Amino acid sequence: MGGSGSRLSKELLAEYQDLTFLTKQEILLAHRRFCELLPPEHRTVEESLHTRVSFEQILSLPELKANPFKERICMVFSTSPTRDSLSFEDFLDLLSVFSDTATPDIKSHYAFRIFDFDDDGTLDREDLSRLILEESDIDRDGTINLSEFQHVISRSPDFASSFKIVL
């Protein structure tokens, strides 16, 4: 009854589908990926639903590896009292919010929480400074040079059209 042979029950799968923006196939794939992070003895369905995975293991996933806010993302979705690990349901919530089918309201709610680094319910000057620096400072030297600025601007299609003077 290892990870690859274990399947979520139809009832649990339907419940997860009702509670997330994920399809049944995406939920099954998420479960398989989560189980791959677990020690072999915890890869049964029952064990996988009650075992937590450390951030270190979650952050090894290619989907998160390059994200400058990866630790903060994990913290926001963790239900652990120490906010240092994810359960399978935490992992599903994370994937659901980042799915293409999540609503803009849900995405903006979680983006706000991720960028509220001090968890005070507001984005203050320190949060915004950290947000800009972590998003833009590619070489992690504490500054944003011209090349890094141009990289950020290249990802903003509205910049060129709004950066003009019409006479």
Q: Looking at residue 1, what is its pLDDT?
A: 37
Q: Looking at residue 67, what is its pLDDT?
A: 86
Low-confidence ranges of the chain (pLDDT < 50): 1-5
SS (H, E, C) the chain: CCCCCCCCCHHHHHHHHHHCCCCHHHHHHHHHHHHHCCCHHHCCHHHHCCCCEEHHHHCCCHHHHCCCCHHHHHHHHCCCCCCCEECHHHHHHHHHHCCCCCCHHHHHHHHHHHHCCCCCCCCCHHHHHHHHHHHHCCCCCCCCCHHHHHHHHHCCCHHHHHCCCCC
Which domains are assigned to the chain? Answer: 10-115 (1.10.238.10), 126-156 (no CATH)
pTM of the predicted structure, to 2 decimals: 0.82
Q: Looking at residue 83, what is its pLDDT?
A: 92
